[in-house]
Amino acid sequence: MAKTITLRSGIDGFEFTALHADPQGQRLGAVIVIQEIFGLDEYVQADVARWAAQGFEVIAPSMFDRQMRGFLAGHDAQGFEVGRRFAQESGAENPVSDVQACVDALKDKGPVFLVGYCYGGTVAWRAAAQVQGLAAAASYYGGGVTALAGLTLNCPVICHFGRKDPHIPADQVAEVIGKTHPEVPVHIYERSGHGFNNDGRPDSDLADAQLARRRTLDLFRANGAA
């Protein structure tokens, strides 16, 4: 069962909230889960529970606490507009600093991994380049990854995109990443659209979601999760 904790960002001393779950069974490491623009909704909570059930200590920071503490929005036009505005207001440095605070809270107990979705997928890519102490990161359908493809990555990264995603041209993004980071696996899921890790959403295919999770877990296992 996840509980709410408070962490302090190094960039401005801001205290933000986060979901925290202890690992079940043998501890394999820690996973930081970075939300979509809709806040720590039921899909984030489900992902936290999934990783904890596999043996990971999990922290999911509330990325928009500076804008509205405890922000939570529906997956609709209104929620999208508010979430997008909050993402823009948060900028690039605040999310990286908040992720660093999460890593710092976990790193003394073993390897720390990161997984991010949509907005969080872009944050995950940037964090892989700018956060210290990450063992590996998984970026799911990060719309901003192409613009950040030139960053030097400091840990192994895997990327997941849906073929049917109307917002992200998967082949073009894969080509850009392949040119700048040929070592990064980029997987395109033919039956899925945007947000396919959210089980039950219209563009989610369960088999695709499960395959992406296995591939992410394999990356984590190859980089210290044991």
CA dist 190 → 25, 159, 167, 177 (Å): 34, 14, 15, 19
Q: Is the dihedral of CA 69, 76, 90, 62 positive or negative?
A: positive
What is residue 167's predicted lDDT score, i.e. its pLDDT? 92
Each residue's pLDDT tens digit, 110-128: 999 999 999 999 999 999 9
What is residue 76's predicted lDDT score, i.e. its pLDDT? 94
**Tokens 């030097």, located at residue:** 152
Sheet strand arrangement including 136-140: 3-8, 15-21, 56-61, 29-34, 112-117, 136-140, 157-162, 186-189
* Sequence-ordered list of residues with C-beta below 8 angstroms from that of 104, at least 6 positions apart, any chain: 10, 133
- With cut-offs at 50, 70 and 90, classify the pLDDT of residue 59: very high
* Sequence-ordered list of residues with C-beta below 8 angstroms from that of 34, at least 6 positions apart, any chain: 60, 61, 63, 95, 99, 114, 115, 116, 117, 119, 120, 121, 123, 124, 127
What is residue 203's predicted lDDT score, i.e. its pLDDT? 86
Beta bridge partners of 112: 30
For the domain 3-222, what is the CATH code?
A: 3.40.50.1820
Share of the chain above pLDDT 70, in %: 100
Mean pLDDT of 169-198: 97
Instruction: Tell me the backbone φ, ψ of residue 6, rounded to 5 degrees.
Output: -125, 135
Q: Is the dihedral of CA 195, 197, 201, 203 positive or negative?
A: positive
Q: Residues for the chain: how many in total?
A: 226
- Own/partner long-range contacts of 200-203 (Cβ < 8 Å, ≥24 apart): 201/43, 201/75, 203/162, 203/164, 203/165
pTM higher than 0.95 for the full model? Answer: yes
What is residue 1's predicted lDDT score, i.e. its pLDDT? 76
Specify whether the CB–CB gap between 68 and 86 falls below 8 A.
Answer: yes
What is residue 226's predicted lDDT score, i.e. its pLDDT? 86
**Tokens 């507009």, located at residue:** 81
